[in-house]
């Protein structure tokens, strides 16, 4: 196993950072690594906003539901799906691009492009000994986030990323069984084995929590997922996304 694969496999979230800002060189290495990711038909449908203003960081921490590490870290990045420049180009070049920009397909392209870039940023940071945590919590209130970051139409802040010098690392959490996630030639058609894989995983995760909390917690992954998914969260998203010019047509 080479060093890069070791690094990838060793990923864990970091939510407690030293009070030490990233250097300009580190930020540049992270952003240029992000930009080097593959992009669908060269579309480059994203922007990255680095937040250094402490008042804005405090506000973002509040908006994400009081996640302190959004305010306290080495640097806070916001990754945005971005078709704003493409609308502008349509105007400048005199081409009718709106039906395309407003399609579900281009929404998907922009999300995928942004996520590929972000994952490169995460790996670049981790390769420098920094820790990271994705912050989906900025989607709790995107109206307020877009106002704070002054993002124009056809831009959606998708998630944040806290980066910094780790003071404490989370445990690495075991993922779903390999054979449950990886299928050969066709999706597993045998529902019995599929369910069995989930059971085995549930037992594993339950044991893990049990040991980690000295018996105080022993929920399975399935129960955790069912409980999370029963709650209907961020149900305003469709309306917001539409308003931002992603019509999902």
- List binders of a second copy among 73-112 (CB under 8 A): 80, 85-86, 88-90, 92-97, 99-101, 103-106, 108-109, 111-112
Using the minimum distance from each CB to a second copy, give the nearer residue, 50 or 167: 50
Tell me the longest C-alpha to C-alpha distance in the chain. 65
Closest by CA position to 132, among listed 81, 73, 48, 79:
73
10 binds a second copy (CB under 8 A): yes
Residue 117 backbone dihedrals phi, psi, to 5 degrees: -65, -45
In this structure, are strands 166-169 and 14-17 parallel, antiparallel, or unpaired? antiparallel
Q: How far is the CB of 229 from a second copy (least distance, A)?
A: 4
Q: How far is the CB of 216 from a second copy (least distance, A)?
A: 18
Alpha carbons 71 and 16: distance in angstroms, whole number: 11
Restricting to residues 196-225, name those near a second copy by CB under 8 A.
198, 221-225
- Of the candidates 24, 182, 192, 215, which one interacts with a second copy according to CB under 8 A? 182
Question: Of 21, 62, 68, 127, which lies in the binding site for a second copy, with binding defined by CB under 8 A?
Answer: 127
Check residue 189 for interaction with a second copy (CB under 8 A). yes
What gap in Å lies between CA 240 and CA 247, rounded to an integer?
Answer: 10
Q: Which two tokens stand for residue 175?
A: 């993922």
Q: Which stretch binds a second copy (CB under 8 A): 1-9, 15-23, 64-72, 208-216?
A: 1-9
Comparing CB distances to a second copy, the nearer of 20 and 175 is: 175
- Total residues contacting a second copy by CB under 8 A comes to 118
Find, among 94, 78, 92, 90, the residue nearest to 43 by Cα: 90
Question: Which of 23, 193, 213, 227 forms a contact with a second copy (CB under 8 A)?
Answer: 227
Residue 168 phi, psi (nearest 5): -160, 135
Q: Which stretch binds a second copy (CB under 8 A): 5-13, 16-24, 63-71, 207-215?
A: 5-13
The conformational region for residue 41 under phi > 0 = left, psi -120 to 50 = alpha, else beta, is left
With respect to a second copy, which residue has the nearer C-beta, 72 or 109? 109
């Amino acid at each position: 196993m080479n060093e890069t694969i070791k690094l990838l496999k060793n990923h864990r979230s970091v939510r407690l950072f030293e009070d030490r800002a990233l250097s300009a060189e580190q930020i540049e290495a992270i952003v240029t690594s992000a930009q080097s990711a593959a992009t669908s038909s060269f579309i480059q449908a994203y922007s990255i906003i680095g937040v250094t203003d402490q008042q804005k960081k405090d506000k973002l921490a509040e908006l994400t539901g009081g996640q302190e590490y959004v305010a306290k870290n080495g640097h806070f990045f916001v990754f945005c799906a971005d078709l704003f420049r493409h609308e502008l180009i349509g105007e400048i070049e005199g081409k009718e691009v709106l039906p395309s920009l407003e399609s579900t397909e281009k929404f998907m392209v922009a999300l995928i492009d942004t996520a590929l870039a972000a994952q490169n940023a995460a790996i670049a940071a981790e390769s420098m000994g920094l820790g990271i945590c994705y912050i989906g919590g900025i989607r709790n209130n995107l109206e307020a986030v877009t106002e704070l970051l002054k993002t124009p139409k056809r831009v959606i802040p998708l998630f944040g990323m806290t980066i910094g010098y780790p003071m404490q690392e989370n445990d690495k959490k075991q993922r779903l069984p390999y054979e449950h996630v990886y299928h050969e030639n066709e999706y597993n058609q045998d529902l019995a084995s599929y369910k069995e894989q989930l059971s085995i995983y549930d037992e594993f995760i339950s044991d893990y929590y049990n040991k980690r909390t000295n018996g105080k917690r022993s929920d399975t992954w399935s129960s955790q997922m069912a409980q999370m998914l029963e709650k209907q969260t961020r149900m305003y998203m469709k309306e917001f996304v539409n308003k931002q010019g992603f019509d999902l047509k």
